[in-house]
Structure 1
Amino acid sequence: MAGDTGVISLGQDGLISKWTLNNQKHWQYAKVLDIGKEEAIDLAYMRDRIAVAFPRLGVKVWLWIKGTWQPQRSILRQNVTSIRFVEDGEALLGGTSDGVLWHCQVPNGTLRAYTFLKSKVHGLDINSQGTQVLVSQAGGRAHLVNVQQSDSKGKIEQVYTTKDGEPAVDQRHSFAASFASTGRAVVFGSMENHALVWDKSKGDVVCSLDHGEDEYVQAVASFDRSTRAENCHIVTGTKQGLLSWWKPPLLDN
């Protein structure tokens, strides 16, 4: 949530909930929406709008209007696997199981395909400027795609994979690519219990985060809101329950 005041979550029971910190630094729970029992695959949230992706139904959208969450026109695109709000919440980006990256204004826009990739999209991450998206794919490959409003939108600007084309990820414990170090770095892939950190522009691995023997990385997050890279952090979580904070490498613009 805005200002790090809370967390929005989607449960397997179909409830969208929020956890917020009160003045006593205690977490308080509140129900936001009940989306029903239909299987949901991903949640996107920005201030006064919520979107939920359903493999069979497409994407449902709600706006906060006059004190209630009111349903809007759905985006009727099946097999959606990941969604993110862009353009200050005025549009959604989505990825599908057949490798399509799409864009749609909400709540009444037209869905447009941006990029056609070769395998399932399993994660999206947007940079702070909203101009680039990291598209993680099944098979251990991630793409940096331009999504700004220009003639180059949908253009693949960089690919993150090993030099010989082999997947840059342990398939048993994969996580989606994430921007880090004020957008200069990308965290993606793990090899032999090391999470890989890439130079965003050059597409080269600049360092790896060693988690020790038998620690399999399965989740990554980045604290990347500072304008100074030295004040940023990477957070990783392993299957065995190890949570680690890392200083990202300092890279050129």
Structure 2
Amino acid sequence: MEIILKSHLDKYYDSLIEYKHIASRLNTVFLKDIEKYNTPDSILHLGSSLILKDWSGRSDNGWAYTYPTDSKICTNKDNYSEFINDLLSKQFCLMYAQSFEGLERFFKNLIFECAEIDEELKTIVKIELKKKNQIFCRKNIPSGNSLLEIINKLFDSFSYQKDILQFDLKDSFFVLSETRHNIIHNDYILSKSKIFCSTNKKNLFVDLFEYKPIKKNEIKVNLDIEKFKRLMDFMCEFTFQILKKTCLKYDLNWKLYKNMDKI
């Protein structure tokens, strides 16, 4: 059983180190590019515009006419640094969103594997699946809040210490999920009152992410390279705590990596 659980965790960890590796290289290359165009004699002008074809409109011997839209963007040496930093932040946020998808997959795999040896847990999952007329199998393990409810029942209660901050599983999952959701579905913008609705949630969000105010009740998620690396480390350590608690619950060996057996 330990080997199976470790294989799921290893797969997730492989994705995290890939994100960190890619992010580091992107950051290095683009920051060097900023330096290149930050000299007095450098010249830079980048422009893009969006052109559309009206498929159902007039044509020239079958070729649709093109029309310029009002969507344009220009970048020069004066705003290039701002442009690159915004680009990097968006890329880091999108990689974080991918890492959260991997976290959910790990949780689902964990629930499925544990349910095979825990009839009580399997019953809990089946009750949740019955609401959607689904049978028990790996592909039907639910996502989102339903997944969180199952995990909470699996562990009864789960809290952990991150440096000097104390968090529980439910708050952590909420912050991670809500941030991922708004990165993908709301152009990186979160409701301040929602994400800061409790002291613990606010503390965790501020610890993991950068942000800037947009409106009175809206903030935009930002990530620089250092914050992103620490975020990937958090995802790594957070999932290990989940695995460790699972192993302790079922009397399994949680010391799965080098030197852990020396502690």
Larger helix percent? 2
TM-score, with length taken from structure 2: 0.23
TM-score, with length taken from structure 1: 0.23
From the CA coordinates, give the structure whose radius of gyration is larger: 2
The answer to which structure, 1 or 2, has the higher relative contact order (CA under 8 A, 6+ apart) is 2
Larger strand percent? 1
